[in-house]
Amino acid sequence: MTRTTYREGIRTALRTALHDDPRVFLMGEDVGKYGGAYACSLGLLEDFGPERVRDTPLCESTFVGAGIGAALGGMRPIVEIMTVNFSLLALDQIVNNAATLRHMSAGQFAVPLVVRMATGAGRQLAAQHSHSLENWYAHVPGIKVLASGTVQDAHDFVLEALADPDPVIVFEHQYLYAMEGELELGPARASPWRASVRRAGADLSVITYGGSLPKALAAAEALEAEGIRAEVVDLRSLRPLDDETILASVRKTHRALIVDEGWRTGSLSGELATRIMEGAFYDLDGPIARVCSAEVPIPYAKHLEDEALPRVETIVARAKELVARRG
């Protein structure tokens, strides 16, 4: 086990995939000579050449479509989209083609495509580079969606997504690329399709994913100092959702706080709240609470960006309100 960064974990996985399987290639904007917008593919062009690490034009619909075609032809493409906002230019390819071809062909065609993209805010990249649209993709049958909140998952999800016969969207929170953590190489230690209890507790369940995981863990540590034991559940997979782990935690703690960087209206947090109500209503000692981003385009100014996003202080305050309330 070594200590490394989130981006290095991704780069290690990409290098392993390219080395071990000649069908694998990486494609996207600036992934080659520049080394990736977030340096995740730095050095790979020199090691594997331009056939395996392909710089593309600024046309998301075109290169995602090319990835779909390559997957249909037996290759194992990894397509990198610079930010989730830019992925909107490829929605037709992802939703109308990648997600549907297995079903429309009665199982004759598989699309083993991996699409990696940066998501989230916190780096002062303003409204066109900072939103969290994971829920848009988690809404679509025919694709699977992963969101890594640890260095280990950032590494493992690339390889696990490649092993899947269907399209997988892998979200990497841009604020986490420099985060350090432990990385164990080899087979994945846990199925990517199962949620993980990152911190055990008994007083409330804090349910989150991706870039909000470190905030939830920091909030749980602050709450512990005040005698409140928060259990932190990392969703990891956003489609499919691991109802079993989520509901088991809520039945144990009897309170649920969902932290979601997406906007509150039509959010993944709303879906989670509904599933908890359907599966654990009589176990709840109070209403489900949510901490989401403010319903505005993400501001550029640092103090406004911070105010718009879920914060540790906000999570702590909402958790204390939940625990103070009696059912």
2-183, what's its fold? Rossmann fold (3.40.50)
pTM of the model: 0.96
Question: Cα separation of 267 and 201, whole Å?
Answer: 26
Catalytically active residues, by annotation:
60, 129
Question: Cα separation of 245 and 167, whole Å?
Answer: 24
Residue ranges of domains in the chain: 2-183, 196-324
Supply the CATH classification number for the domain 196-324.
Answer: 3.40.50.920
Between 9-13, 137-141, 188-192, the lowest mean confidence (pLDDT) is in 188-192
At 74 the pLDDT is 96
At 1 the pLDDT is 85
Per CATH, 2-183 and 196-324 having the same topology is answered: yes
Residue percentage of the chain with pLDDT more than 70: 99
Model confidence pLDDT, tens digit, residues 187-221: 777 899 999 999 999 999 999 999 999 999 999 99
Residue 267, classed as helix, strand or coil, is: coil
At 187 the pLDDT is 78
Model confidence pLDDT, tens digit, residues 292-308: 999 999 999 999 999 99
At 51 the pLDDT is 97
Higher pLDDT, 233 or 327: 233
Cα–Cα distances in angstroms (integers) from residue 186 to residues 3, 12, 78, 160, 193, in the given order: 15, 11, 20, 12, 18
Tokens of 124: 């002062």
326 — pLDDT class (breaks 50, 70, 90):
low
At 175 the pLDDT is 95
Cβ-contact 37, 118 below 8 angstroms: yes
